A and B are shown apart, each in its own frame.
Chain A
Amino acid sequence: MRVRFVLAQIGNGLRRNLAMAVSVVLVTFISLAFVGAAALLQMQVDKAKDDWYDRVEVNVYLCPAGEASQSCPDGEVTEEQIEELRGLLESDALADYVQTVYLETKEQAWEAFQERFGDQEWAQRITQDQMQFSFRVKLVDPEQYQLIYDELSGRPGVQQVIDQRSILEPLFLVLNRATLISVGLAVLMTVTAVLLITTTIRLSAMSRRRETEIMRLVGASNFFIQLPFMLEGAIAALLGAALAVGGLWVGVHYIVEEWLAESVRFMPFVDTSDVWTVAPILVAIGIGLAVVSSLVTLSRYTKV
């Protein structure tokens, strides 16, 4: 009887305040979508970093043939220069920082190049001689890049020292900025959601003041009087959270999985399974918001 009674109360309340209930659903939806987006962006950053930092090496490009540039005034690097540089990288002085040193020959560079771009017509016209020697230096700690850079750049035969990490830095920067914006909007929308839920519950409580008064009079417990209001808020918030999860799923599925992941292959992306990881958190936040705001409101409007 009690369950049925509470359900009937909730049904009445939601129907009587339909417009407000819908607005609570929508505002919760938007705010949780931003919370979720922020979480997914950070997951993306972590994922990319994990994968990337595991693989990153410092590339020491050696002077290629047929070119006399500022860093390579003497043309292509010589065998002696290569050996000298290898000796330096493998010296005791750098042993603490350098994990492995690997010399990529022109042939290997060409093969790797063809493997990656071989299906493009322009790539097939590249010859082995157009490639260049390079050292792949894997560091014990990728953060120590500056040391290798200082040690190697400017030495004869070295064209350029590139930290592979720096290639993705702009991407991480963009992702982090996007996260910040998401968090900012999420906070703003969450405040709006709390205010709106509070107002909705207050209206609902006021429109049922007589009923509440009578329930009080015949000995209904506080909890029992407040439960329908709380559940009304929680149901609206739950719907909002469900919409947010659905929205994120659609976004991740169609934009990331079907488009980004297909066209940008060098990096792992978040996928819909990550959305399911975020989902319970969003639902919990949604319900938490609703319950806390109702408790605060109801303690004022349905006093014993």
Chain B
Amino acid sequence: MIRFDNVSKVYARGHRPALDQVSLEIERGEFVFLVGSSGSGKSTFLRLVLREERPTSGGVFVAGRNLARISSWKVPYLRRQIGTVFQDFRLLNNKTVFDNVAIAMQVIGKPRHQVMSTVPETIEMVGLAGKERRLPHELSGGEQQRVAIARAFVNRPPIILADEPTGNLDPTTSVGIMRLLERINRTGTTVVMATHDDEIVDQMRKRVVELVDGQMVRDQARGVYGARKESA
């Protein structure tokens, strides 16, 4: 689903690369934790998958396509294959829960009847049934993140990228979010989650890829956060 071939990314000439010769393959339906301290290259990894950045060298393949080969006007079609969740939720504060989720379908031209049926379904799936008309500031952090996940998942993309989705949440709420991501993963969706949260990683026992200073130092199936634990 996602393949990195000797990918390096250098932002400024002469500086240490943000990613250094990373090779990695993530299969369809996998759940992968991307761990490492701040500045280790996790975000760069995700940005390369979204083609917000281009690699300095090496090849990035997503959903069978070589991102170096797709023209910039086709990038939106790539992004429709990928749902994205962020630490800061990135909701539209003046739109209701329903509209925040619906926008993902509206902007890619899904017909109205489909939006009307799929959006409530997805809101229910993330556990926010009955809160469709609420505004984001009327929700708790965990609920807001559920809205963001609903938005990322409403088009049933084959890939979900989550950049520290529990970073702003307390441990109990985080567990709920992880259960939700796991459920999504069980539908066959590939989930890549960058995180600092050792408890979650240790609990879930999923594949763990660790980055240190842009280099991949560990790729472990059913792994834990690791000895080189660093506080978030």
Q: Provide the bound-state CA to CA distance between A214 and B132, in Å.
A: 19
B108, closest chain A residue (CB): A219
Residue of B nearest to A213 (CB): B90
CB pair B79 A216 closer than 8 Å? yes
Chain A CB within 8 A of B216 CB: no
CB distance from B125 to the nearest CB of A (A): 17
Bound together, the chains give a CA A217 to CA B115 distance in angstroms of 18
Name the CB-closest residue of B to A218: B104
| B window 60-93: CB within 8 A of A | 72-73, 75-84, 90, 92
A276 interface residue (CB < 8 Å to B):
no
> What residues on B are CB-neighbors of A220 within 8 Å?
76, 107-108
> Nearest-CB distance from B96 to chain A (Å)?
13
Please give the number of chain B residues whose Cβ is less than 8 angstroms from any Cβ of chain A in the complex. 29
Instruction: Report chain A residues within 8 Å CB of B107.
Output: 5, 215, 218-220, 224-225
Chain B proximity of A210: nearest CB distance (Å): 7
- In angstroms, Cα B78 to Cα A215, docked, is 13
Q: State which size class the interface on A falls in.
A: 10 to 19
Does B112 lie within 8 Å of A304, measured CB to CB?
no
Chain B residue nearest in CB terms to A214: B90
Contact with A along B99-124 (1 / 0, CB 8 A): 00001111111111001000000000
Q: Is residue B190 within 8 Å, beta carbon to beta carbon, of the partner chain?
A: no
B92 and A214 contacting across the interface, CB-CB below 8 Å: yes
| Bound Cα distance from A214 to B106, whole angstroms | 12
B186 to chain A, nearest CB (A): 23
B73: A residues at CB distance < 8 A: 221-222
Give the distance in Å from the alpha carbon of A213 to the alpha carbon of B78 in the complex.
16
B-chain residues with CB within 8 Å of residue A217 when the two chains form the complex: 50, 79, 84, 90
How close is B231's CB to chain A, nearest CB, in angstroms?
29
With both chains docked as a complex, state the minimum distance between the C-beta of A220 and any C-beta of chain B, in angstroms: 4
A4 located at the interface, meaning its Cβ lies under 8 Å from any Cβ of chain B in the complex: yes
- Determine the residue in chain B with the shortest Cβ distance to A208: B92
Residues on A with beta carbons closer than 8 Å to the beta carbon of B106: 1-2, 5
Q: Chain A 183-212 against B: per-residue CB contact (8 Å), 1 yes, 0 no?
A: 000000000000000000000000000110
Interface pair B80/A218, CB less than 8 Å apart: yes
Of B75, B81, B115, the residue contacting A304 (CB under 8 A) is B75
Q: Is the CB of A211 within 8 A of B92?
A: yes
Interface pair B84/A4, CB less than 8 Å apart: no
What is the CB-to-nearest-CB distance from B107 to chain A, in angstroms, rounded to a whole number? 4
CB distance from B49 to the nearest CB of A (A): 12
> Beta-carbon contacts of A54-78 to B below 8 Å, as 1s and 0s?
0000000000000000000000000
Contact of B103 among A215, A222, A304 (CB under 8 A): A215
Binding site for A on B (CB under 8 A): 50, 72-73, 75-84, 90, 92, 103-112, 115, 151-152, 155
A-B contact pairs, 29 of them (CB 8 A): A1-B109, A1-B110, A1-B111, A1-B115, A5-B107, A210-B90, A211-B92, A214-B90, A214-B92, A214-B103, A215-B103, A215-B107, A216-B76, A217-B79, A217-B84, A217-B90, A218-B103, A218-B108, A218-B151, A219-B77, A219-B78, A219-B79, A219-B107, A219-B108, A220-B107, A220-B108, A221-B76, A304-B72, A304-B75
